[in-house]
Amino acid sequence: MESQPQPQPQPRRPRGFAATAAAAAASVSPTVTPSGSAGASTASSGKGKREREKEKERTKLRERHRRAITSRMLAGLRQYGNFPLPARADMNDVLAALAREAGWTVEPDGTTYRHSPPPQHQQHLGAFPVRSGESPLTATSLKNCSVKATLDCQQPVVRIDDSLSPASLDSVVIAERDTRSEKYPSTSPINSVECLEADQLIQDVHSTEHDNDFTGTQYVPVYVKLSTGFINNFCQLADPDGVRQELSHMNSLNVDGVIVDCWWGIVECWNPQKYVWSGYRELFNYIREFKMKIQVVMAFHEYGRTDSADVLISLPNWILEIGKENQDIFFTDREGRRTTEFLSWGIDKERVLNGRTGVEVYFDFMRSFRTEFDDLFAEGLISAVEIGLGPSGELRYPSFSERMEWRYPGIGEFQCYDKYLQQHLQRAAKLRGHSFWARGPDNAGHYNSRPHETGFFCERGDYDSYYGRFFLHWYAQALMDHADNVLSLANLAFEETKIIVKIPAVYWWYKTSSHAAELTAGYYNPTNQDGYSPVFEVLKKHSVTVKFVCYGLQICSYENDEAFADPEGLSWQVLNSVWDRGLKVAGENTLSCYDKEGCLRIIETAKPRNDPDCRHFSFFVYQQPSPLVQGVICLPDLDYFIKCMHAGDITGDLVP
């Protein structure tokens, strides 16, 4: 009996690298294929390669989309749930936070267990406990709601089966939808048509919960910034009676101290190294009478080049004279327009200022101040010195100057086209081995462009190309080198004195992939980079205190949906990055938000309630409103704000 032939096993189709190798072998050995098939094989290989490239691009797009969604989810958890997630949180951090919120204990190595049974009311509801920042709705906050609408306005709960392990939370935690919420398709029942508007409701909830709840919290000293204009352009005290009146008012409010701007453009106005301090000596004597501390700002920038400014302080006249002959000492945009807000840090080490470099000019000014007021340092009257490192005293490029007709929320422009910074860029490109990269981007738009309108900042734009990454890294490095050079000399001039550096809050376009406004300002902080950590490493080297601008409201008057702005998300990233490096943090309010809710948010930012390490601001600077808004501000009672910061007993209330 003949044996039946055994079926031969089918050869496995090669995959991955094997498939690529097989295709390559077929393309280089067409003679082994039947006649006429060599061309087909080559065409097939080329088509397969194109498909693989397309699939790679689709994968990259899906990954970016996923990261963008993840970023918004994490921002929502931090903003609305007060979850203490790190700046670069991953799913382990999220799961651990959710598990802890459900009553579980999560060890650092991931070991998870329930330490004790949840409270009775939580077992009944099967819900997360209410966080300290999420108080139940009050009768005041719901005064315009019917009883039925009040029930509909309750927060949705997330139910968890206690029998399930925390490891499975990511697959079984489901937000149940109550049948009553079907009437209101909004993502949050708080926005239902029968309830108060969200901003009003949030204000009522926070005010009833926190009005008298700052007693016993950390003491945060409050400094008030003196109005600009008391010292005239001849360095004379222009209004002694006005100074006494303002200091007397501050003293009655128990202010800890005052902030005084020492303007380079006034003190060294007419001739290099000829310093006039007489007006400041008289001002400091007045402050000494009231026994208040002084923080001094070394103001190397211009002030008042806007339509609303009533005082104009330019850079020193002798600097402007040099600038007429050599305009490249100033920052320059792509069109060749110059801004005199600040000297380009391309000349930090160039002897173009009557034989001195930029950093030498700054050092001589700081040393003159330290020598002139040595007695005040010895008394301890001058408690700290803030070093101005850019426009408005902030560490940034003048990328969004109103003099250049920039208007919010424009992305701004790169400021690196003076010949000195261009020479630095050429050296960096040559060192990298790509001399043709020694140029600024030609598709980055203009001051008032939007990211999606440009080829550089749009989704998957050139900012993330090899050239884009090189340029942005160089641009940010120039900013950090400037800070490093100036702070090194500042520490020599002000030994054993606290040094402060002001960091800008460039929050618009923060929710886009490129973070365009931050890039032009000098912070390389797109969604796939952490642009603040390298800056804070430089500041840590000099042991400075970081001062950051706090935006009182979640949505200020500047913001709109088109700007993709997120001031709270930016604050979260910056503050955690600073604190993680052991640096001290201070705050300063904006000149636009003076309402009740805004100040309560600032207090919560200054001393977070849920921080396990009890971190808080080392001090806070209150900027007084300009005369143009004195009559319309919502917070005339500064006494309340200071008592909250001081953690004292609050007997009054803010004027609504």
pLDDT tens-digit profile of 187-242?
333 333 333 343 443 344 344 444 446 777 889 999 999 988 899 989 999 889 99
Look at phi and psi of residue 581 and say left if phi exceeds 0, alpha if psi is from -120 to 50, else beta: alpha
Q: Name the β-bridge partners of 332.
A: 338
Cβ neighbours of 304 (radius 10 Å): 13
466-493 vs 419-432: helix axis angle to the nearest 10? 120
* Range in 40-44, 350-354, 480-484 the model is least confident about: 40-44
* The pLDDT of residue 66 is above 50: yes
Q: What is the distance between the alpha carbons of residues 437 and 471, in angstroms, rounded to a whole number?
A: 8
Q: Has 588 been annotated as catalytic?
A: yes
Q: Is the CB of residue 82 less than 8 Å from the CB of residue 131?
A: yes
Q: What is the distance between the alpha carbons of residues 395 and 502, in angstroms, rounded to a whole number?
A: 6
Q: Which of 618, 496, 596, 479 is nearest to 536 (CA)?
A: 479
Please give the pLDDT value at position 339.
95
Stretch (H or E) spanning 369: helix 358-372
Q: What is the distance between the alpha carbons of residues 434 and 560, in angstroms, rounded to a whole number?
A: 41
Place of tokens 């952490």: 530
Q: What is the distance between the alpha carbons of residues 104 and 38, in angstroms, rounded to a whole number?
A: 65
Please give the pLDDT value at position 308.
52
Going by DSSP bridges, is the β-strand pair 620-622/222-225 parallel, antiparallel, or unpaired? parallel
Q: What is the distance between the alpha carbons of residues 387 and 484, in angstroms, rounded to a whole number?
A: 12
Using 50, 70 and 90 to split pLDDT, how confident is the model at 45? low
Q: Is the CB of residue 222 less than 8 Å from the CB of residue 645?
A: yes
pLDDT in tens, 292-345: 999 999 999 999 866 555 789 999 999 999 999 999 999 999 999 999 999 999
Can you read off the two tokens belonging to residue 258?
């005052």
Q: Is the CB of residue 519 less than 8 Å from the CB of residue 527?
A: no
Return the DSSP state at 152: H
Please return the burial class of 172, using the count of CB atoms within 10 Å of its CB with bins 0-12, 13-18 and 19+. exposed
What are the phi and psi torsion angles at 377 (to 5°)?
Answer: -65, -40
Rounded to an integer, the average pLDDT of 150-161 is 41
Using 50, 70 and 90 to split pLDDT, how confident is the model at 90? confident
Instruction: Report the SS3 class of residue 126.
Output: coil
Angle at 553 between CA 551 and CA 556, to 5 degrees: 85
Q: Which of 1, 89, 25 is nearest to 569 (CA)?
A: 89
**Which is the catalytic residue, given 386, 588, 597, 604?**
588
Kindly give the residue spans of alpha helices, DSSP state H, lying in 160-197: 169-172
Return the DSSP state at 356: B
Return the DSSP state at 181: G
Choose which CATH entry (3.40.710.10, 3.40.47.10, 3.50.50.60, 3.20.20.80) describes domain 222-324+352-408+482-646.
3.20.20.80
Rounded to an integer, the average pLDDT of 559-567 is 76
Q: Has 134 been annotated as catalytic?
A: no
Q: List the chain domain ranges.
A: 222-324+352-408+482-646
Question: In one letter, which amino acid is 646?
Answer: H
pTM of the model: 0.68
Please give the pLDDT value at position 423.
97
Please return the burial class of 362, using the count of CB atoms within 10 Å of its CB with bins 0-12, 13-18 and 19+. buried
Place of tokens 């949030």: 202
Q: Is the CB of residue 573 less than 8 Å from the CB of residue 611?
A: no
Question: In one letter, which amino acid is 143?
Answer: K
Q: What is the distance between the alpha carbons of residues 431 and 630, in angstroms, rounded to a whole number?
A: 55
Kindly give the residue spans of alpha helices, DSSP state H, lying in 433-532: 466-493, 516-521
Rounded to an integer, the average pLDDT of 256-280 is 96
Stretch (H or E) spanning 549: strand 545-550
Using 50, 70 and 90 to split pLDDT, how confident is the model at 60? confident
**Which is the catalytic residue, given 101, 268, 302, 394?**
394
Q: What is the distance between the alpha carbons of residues 463 and 513, in angstroms, rounded to a whole number?
A: 10
